[in-house]
Amino acid sequence: MSPLLLIAEGDAELRTACQQFLARCRYHVETAADGLECLEKLRRLRPPVLVLDRELRWGGGDGVLAWLREQRAAAGVPVVLTAAADGPADVADDLRPPVVKLLPKPFPLTALLESVRTAVAERAVQRGSRAACSELFIG
């Protein structure tokens, strides 16, 4: 079973390019075009990794990050944050969990793939560590 990714990207061409590339790399990819759609899909799909455009419309990347940080159900969803290289200087404020990587735009799709692979692996290690700890106390 291929890992599920949610890509929330406001630029339709970039969103499609990322989706097609990652699908060819054997990921199941869902997309969102704005912050509201992203939140709906996060609630419904609970993806193990989110690729998030900081400049999303309708709720914005910062709104999605605030929601993720407040929601217990969404805890542990690693975020690969994308942002314009010449964007606001306050992007450094976003570089705390759940953000695991910042990709400045424009980025090569291979850099996105590497970031996603790292986030998926880190998520698996976290889940494995929690399961192992649970077995110690339950078993």
Range of the domain at 21: 4-138
pLDDT tens profile 9-37: 999 999 999 999 999 999 999 999 999 99
What span, in angstroms and rounded, lies between the C-alpha atoms of 68 and 13? 26
CATH code of the domain containing 64: 3.40.50.2300
pLDDT for position 59: 76
pLDDT for position 58: 82
pLDDT for position 134: 37
What span, in angstroms and rounded, lies between the C-alpha atoms of 36 and 25? 27
pTM of the model: 0.85
| Beta pairing class for 79-84 and 99-105 | parallel
Please list the ranges in the chain whose pLDDT falls under 70.
1, 73-75, 87-93, 129-139
| Beta pairing class for 4-8 and 79-84 | unpaired
pLDDT for position 129: 52
Q: Which two tokens stand for residue 118?
A: 């790292």
Total domains in the fold of the chain? 1
| Sheet bearing 28-32, strands edge to edge | 28-32, 4-8, 49-53, 79-84, 99-105
**DSSP 3-state of 60:** helix
pLDDT for position 85: 79
